[in-house]
Amino acid sequence: MFHAMKQFIPRWIQRRLEKALGVMPVVVVTGARQSGKSTLVRHVDPRRSYFSLDDLDVLDQARRDPDSLLKDPPLTLDEVQRAPELLLAIKRRVDTERIPGAYLLTGSAQFGLMRNVSDSLAGRAIYLDLGPFCPLEWEGVAHGESLLDELFLEKLNPDSRWLLQDGHGDWMDWLLSGGFAPALDIPETEGRAIWFSGYVQTYLERDLRELSEVASLPDFQRLMRIAAQRTARLLNQAEIARDAGLAHATCHRYLNLLETGCQIERVQPYTADPTTALVKSPKLFWSDSGLAAWLAGIHDRSGLIQRADLGFWLEQAIAQTILAWQRIDPVRRRVSYWRTRGGDEVDFVLEEDQNCLGIEIKAGRRIGLHDIRGLRRFVEAGRARGISVRGVALYGGSEARPLGDSLSALPYAALFPAPSKGKRADAGNTAEFQPIT
C-alpha cells in the first residue's frame, strides 16, 4: 500500500503553466501516466472545477453530451484523451468566447498524434509536456537554480553549491529509481520491480489500447524490452525490428506509439553545422530511467555494474535531467547531439536563445585533453560560424577545473543530490499517488 502524503514538491514547469493560463484559453498538459499531471493541475488553482475522465460517469457525459460538461469555466479536465469529442466542443466554445485559462486539460498521450482527433486547437491552445521527476526537481531544487541553468551564465561560479561534493548522491540509485513518485517512494528493489511491472501492464492493457489497435501485446512488450536495451544509442529501426521479429512497418508504428504515449523520446542531431558531415539518425532515450532499467532486466546495482554498456546508462540517467530542463520552455530551449561521420561526438547540445552548450559525458574519475577531442572540435566549429558556444565535460571525478578556452570539466555528481532524509516517505503525493488503475 502506498502512503498518504502531505507535501507538495513544485514542478519546474509550474511557472510556465501559470503564465500560460493567463494568456491562452486552452492549456494542455501531457505526459505519461503517473508523471504527476493530476496533482500539478489541481495544485495550480484549487478553485477551478475539476473533472476526471477516469470517472466513468464523467466519461459517459463527455462522450454523449460534451457541451454540458463545459458550461462553467474555468474547468480542469483530466485524462481527456479518453474522449476526443471534448476537443471539438471546446473549440466551439472558445470560438464563441475566448477567456484566458478557461480550460486546463491533461492527457496521457500527446494530442498531436492522437487517433480520431479530426480538428485541432491551433491558435487556441498551448501544449506543455510534464515528464517524470529528475533528481534535482525531486529534491526541491527550484526552477532556474540547477547546475544546467548555471552553465549558461557567462562565468560559472567556482564556489557554486552544485560543485561541492557534500550532499551528492549516487547516479546508479537514481537511475534505478527513475522519476515516478510512487516508484521513488519504494526503497526496496523487489517492491519497486512489482510497481514497474504493474505500470507496464497498465500501459499495455489500457493506455495503449486507447491509442491504437495492437495485434499482439506480447510482441509490443518484447519491442519495449529490446528498445530499453538500446537506450542512449542511435535509433536503428531495422535492427530493432529484426531482433523483435517484427515487420519494419510494425516496428515503426510501435515506436511511434511509445513516443505518443510519452514513454520514449528521440533526441535529434544538431543541424546548425552545414559544413560538417554529421550523423542524421536520432538517439533514443526513455522518459523514465527506472522504467527503462526494469524493462532491460536491470533491477539492482550489482546487475547494473556488470553491464558492458554502463556508460550508456549513465547517459540515460543524465538525460532525465536534461530533458526536464528542456521541457520548461521547448520553444527557447533545444536539446540535440553532435556526431560526425569521422567519429567525433558530443553527447548533448543544449541551446537557449542564442547560446549553445556542448556536454560530453565521461564515466571515469580522471579526465584529460585526449578525452574531449570531440568537444573541442565542436566548440571550434561553432566559433568558426560565429556562434556563442562552450563545452563541458561531465565526469566521475570530484573537482571542477578548466580544460581550455571555453572548456571545463565538472563532476556529474552535481546532477544527483543525496536524497533528503525521510524524503521518500514524505513527498510521494506529487504524482497520482495510488495503485495504478
**pLDDT tens-digit series, residues 400-415:** 888 988 899 999 998 9
148 and 245, same domain (yes or no):
yes
**pLDDT of amino acid 297:** 96
In a domain, 202, yes or no: yes
Ramachandran bin of 338, using left for φ above 0, alpha for ψ from -120 to 50, beta for the remaining angles: beta
**pLDDT tens-digit series, residues 296-338:** 999 999 999 999 999 999 999 999 999 999 999 998 999 999 9
- Output the pTM of the full model: 0.90
Mean pLDDT is lowest, of 233-237, 284-288, 356-360, 365-369, for 365-369
The arithmetic mean of pLDDT across residues 4-19, rounded, is 84
- How far, in whole angstroms, is CA 67 from its chain's centroid? 33
The arithmetic mean of pLDDT across residues 57-73, rounded, is 94
**pLDDT of amino acid 45:** 87
**pLDDT of amino acid 310:** 96
**pLDDT of amino acid 271:** 84
> At 433, is the pLDDT very low, low, confident or very high (cuts 50, 70, 90)?
very low
Assess contact for 340 and 278: CB atoms under 8 A: yes
Domain tally, the chain = 2
The arithmetic mean of pLDDT across residues 163-181, rounded, is 83
Q: Is the pLDDT of residue 167 over 70?
A: no
Q: Assign 245 to helix, strand or coil.
A: coil
Q: Is the pLDDT of residue 295 over 90?
A: yes
Q: Assign 209 to helix, strand or coil.
A: helix
List Cβ neighbours of 328 (8 Å cut-off, separation of 6 or more).
12, 13, 16, 143
The arithmetic mean of pLDDT across residues 13-25, rounded, is 95
Q: Is the pLDDT of residue 109 over 80?
A: no
**pLDDT of amino acid 4:** 39
The arithmetic mean of pLDDT across residues 258-265, rounded, is 92
**pLDDT of amino acid 161:** 58
**pLDDT of amino acid 111:** 64
**pLDDT of amino acid 159:** 55
**Hey, what amino acid is at 24?**
M
Mean pLDDT estimate for the chain? 87
332 and 419, same domain (yes or no):
yes
Which one of 129, 161, 184 terminates a domain? 129
List Cβ neighbours of 289 (8 Å cut-off, separation of 6 or more).
174, 175, 176, 178, 179, 313, 316, 317, 319, 320
In a domain, 223, yes or no: yes
In a domain, 155, yes or no: yes
The arithmetic mean of pLDDT across residues 253-277, rounded, is 88
List Cβ neighbours of 234 (8 Å cut-off, separation of 6 or more).
279, 281, 282, 283, 284
In a domain, 232, yes or no: yes
Helix, strand and coil in the chain, % to nearest 5: 40, 15, 40
284 and 380, same domain (yes or no):
yes
**pLDDT tens-digit series, residues 234-249:** 999 999 999 999 999 9
165 against 186, higher pLDDT: 186
Q: Is the pLDDT of residue 113 over 90?
A: no
* Domain of residue 110, CATH code: 3.40.50.300
In a domain, 106, yes or no: yes
Q: Is the pLDDT of residue 202 over 60?
A: yes
Q: Is the pLDDT of residue 118 over 60?
A: no
Assess contact for 357 and 392: CB atoms under 8 A: yes
**pLDDT of amino acid 2:** 34
Q: Are strands 407-411 and 401-404 parallel, antiparallel or unpaired?
A: antiparallel
223 and 141, same domain (yes or no):
yes
The arithmetic mean of pLDDT across residues 244-259, rounded, is 94
> At 160, is the pLDDT very low, low, confident or very high (cuts 50, 70, 90)?
low
Q: State the DSSP H helix or E strand holding residue 291, giving kind and residue range, or none if neither.
A: helix 289-295
> At 346, is the pLDDT very low, low, confident or very high (cuts 50, 70, 90)?
very high
Which one of 101, 129, 157 terminates a domain? 129
CA 200 → CA 222, 262, 285, distances in Å? Answer: 12, 13, 17
Number of Cβ within a 10 Å radius of residue 104: 25
Q: Assign 391 to helix, strand or coil.
A: strand
Cα separation, 100 vs 74, whole angstroms: 9
In a domain, 256, yes or no: yes
> At 119, is the pLDDT very low, low, confident or very high (cuts 50, 70, 90)?
low
78 and 194, same domain (yes or no):
no
In a domain, 3, yes or no: no
Q: Is the pLDDT of residue 382 over 50?
A: yes
Number of Cβ within a 10 Å radius of residue 300: 14
Mean pLDDT is lowest, of 6-20, 107-121, 175-189, for 107-121
108 and 206, same domain (yes or no):
no
190 and 300, same domain (yes or no):
yes
**Segments forming the whole domain that contains residue 117:** 14-129
Cα separation, 306 vs 296, whole angstroms: 13
Residue 300 exposure: Cα atoms within 13 Å on the Cβ side: 6
114 and 160, same domain (yes or no):
no
Assess contact for 312 and 232: CB atoms under 8 A: yes
Bridge partners, 352 (sequence order): 333, 355
200 and 278, same domain (yes or no):
yes
Percent of the chain with pLDDT over 70: 89
Q: Cell numbers of 381, please?
A: 566549429
**pLDDT of amino acid 209:** 75
**Burial of 173 by CB count in 10 Å (0-12 exposed, 13-18 middle, 19+ buried)?**
middle
107 and 152, same domain (yes or no):
no
78 and 201, same domain (yes or no):
no
115 against 35, higher pLDDT: 35
Assess contact for 307 and 313: CB atoms under 8 A: yes
Which one of 129, 149, 179 terminates a domain? 129
Q: Is the pLDDT of residue 82 over 60?
A: yes
**pLDDT of amino acid 15:** 94
316 and 378, same domain (yes or no):
yes
Cα separation, 180 vs 133, whole angstroms: 6
The arithmetic mean of pLDDT across residues 77-89, rounded, is 89
